[in-house]
Structure 1
């Protein structure tokens, strides 16, 4: 079946966010056959997530209107209002699987358990607190360099989506489910397309290249670590792994992006 790029991007946008673009079998099929569509939607999603920091540049007095401590939880709420909380379920499941004793089969059983254990609760706390801390850093940055703050948010979202797409291209699923639905249609030959789509995110801090490059490098490291862990601990990639990778790469990318901007 021929894949229509626009249908793939719209399908990815509908699947990876709560933006009301509609759903349909044709768009789903196009999306799951086009890994490059995953980082492609990181640009519009990232732009939406960055709106609170963009407001600093266009709304008079907004830089001092809200304290940093208030911006942080507001950004967390806004982020999950835009992207949904499905990926957080993957974070919780992998947190539980990471601390369980046993082999890969036992860990996969834990992934299917809807109850959240201590490992899952800790993983969720780390991700949400990490996102809030990143928002506080970005709020402080936005007061002096709003364009940089916006660029880092966009780059981190593209990077997180690119990390997920890399796992789709390079991973194999251990069981049927969302992971197999995506990985079965792609392979390593699709990876260059993912890289081409994600590469422009390195320019979001132009003329400073360090923040964007650092964010994309961080996403690459997260993807490599997630793929290694999934293969050695779970026997393959699953939907939970894909979701957790996206969340982890986003949070790590935001922190590294701010650090890189500060040092550049």
Structure 2
């Protein structure tokens, strides 16, 4: 009886993991995966679902970069196509976190004062500047990606172009960064952040395992993953010091800033390799 129970438990575990990934895609992207309370609960309890969703989102957003491998297209056009595809897949919800943390960053005062600014519906100069810098940086990174050679990196174990490898790795890294906030962060207050931060630090091992195949894409992709994770950890540290913990805005800002850092560091690594 014990032997027959094992497959049943395995199927249940796999089913829950797939439900968690569906919940992650429903929350982190605009893909029509459907939303349910069960999927949301499974996602909030499964940090590994963050980078799993990053693989899917990164691959879809890189479609214009893939197309550019087969037909010569102007780099600015390819870059613009990547930006359109990226936000068509991921939406703009996370950009709100950049705006809110931008306003909180320019406030002088204690964490309580900064947290109050996060709930303010008015858009301040900090938000405008932060969003402008992120969008400008993302556009420049996309243009740099579009200008990379079509060949795969020499160190890649699979035949994926450098631009595609970096774009996918940066997205996986951004989602790994969000998983790091979920496993290492404490909630600043009750809200979206507190829904994810019940996970123990040891739970970060599973997201790292899910993100690890980025190594097959080559050194530039690994640099993109590492840069994205470092940027997200920077947001975590800033949030602890200035907000007293993480919240939904910190998750959103970590995603956007991590992707940006990952793209630029990936391109730099390609240039130096």
Give SS of 2:147's match: helix
Which position in structure 2 is the counterpart of 1:175? 189
Unaligned 5+ segments in structure 2 are: 1-11, 153-159
Q: What is the aligned counterpart of 2:26 among 6, 10, 14?
A: 14
Contact conserved, 2:58 with 2:167, CA < 8 A, in 1? yes
- The correspondence of residues 202-213 of structure 1 with structure 2, limited to 5 A, is 202-205=215-218, 210-213=219-222
Give SS of 2:33's match: coil
- The correspondence of residues 190-205 of structure 1 with structure 2, limited to 5 A, is 190-205=203-218
Give SS of 1:141's match: coil
- The correspondence of residues 123-202 of structure 1 with structure 2, limited to 5 A, is 123-143=130-150, 147-184=161-198, 186-202=199-215
Per the TM alignment, residue 72 of structure 1 is displaced from its structure 2 partner at its CA by 2.9
CA distance in 1: counterparts of 2:48 and 2:151, whole angstroms: 34
Which position in structure 2 is the counterpart of 1:47? 59
Contact conserved, 1:91 with 1:124, CA < 8 A, in 2? yes
Give SS of 1:175's match: coil
Per the TM alignment, residue 115 of structure 1 is displaced from its structure 2 partner at its CA by 1.5
Contact conserved, 1:202 with 1:216, CA < 8 A, in 2? no
Mark the structure with the bigger radius of gyration: 2
CA distance in 1: counterparts of 2:75 and 2:228, whole angstroms: 26
Per the TM alignment, residue 71 of structure 1 is displaced from its structure 2 partner at its CA by 3.0
Per the TM alignment, residue 143 of structure 1 is displaced from its structure 2 partner at its CA by 4.8
Which position in structure 2 is the counterpart of 1:99? 106
Which position in structure 1 is the counterpart of 2:85? 78
Give SS of 1:211's match: helix
Per the TM alignment, residue 173 of structure 1 is displaced from its structure 2 partner at its CA by 0.3
Per the TM alignment, residue 132 of structure 1 is displaced from its structure 2 partner at its CA by 0.7
Contact conserved, 1:39 with 1:162, CA < 8 A, in 2? yes
CA distance in 1: counterparts of 2:190 and 2:85, whole angstroms: 32
CA distance in 2: counterparts of 1:142 and 1:117, whole angstroms: 41
Q: What is the aligned counterpart of 2:259 among 247, 250, 257?
A: 250
Per the TM alignment, residue 144 of structure 1 is displaced from its structure 2 partner at its CA by 5.5
CA distance in 2: counterparts of 1:201 and 1:5, whole angstroms: 20
- The correspondence of residues 211-250 of structure 1 with structure 2, limited to 5 A, is 211-250=220-259
Taking only aligned residues, the RMSD between alpha carbons, in angstroms, comes to 1.5
Per the TM alignment, residue 104 of structure 1 is displaced from its structure 2 partner at its CA by 0.3
CA distance in 2: counterparts of 1:223 and 1:90, whole angstroms: 13
Contact conserved, 1:75 with 1:132, CA < 8 A, in 2? no
* Count of residues in Structure 1 that have an aligned counterpart in Structure 2: 253
Which position in structure 2 is the counterpart of 1:260? 269
CA distance in 1: counterparts of 2:128 and 2:45, whole angstroms: 33
Per the TM alignment, residue 142 of structure 1 is displaced from its structure 2 partner at its CA by 4.8
Which position in structure 2 is the counterpart of 1:114? 121
Change (3 A) 1:201 1:35: same
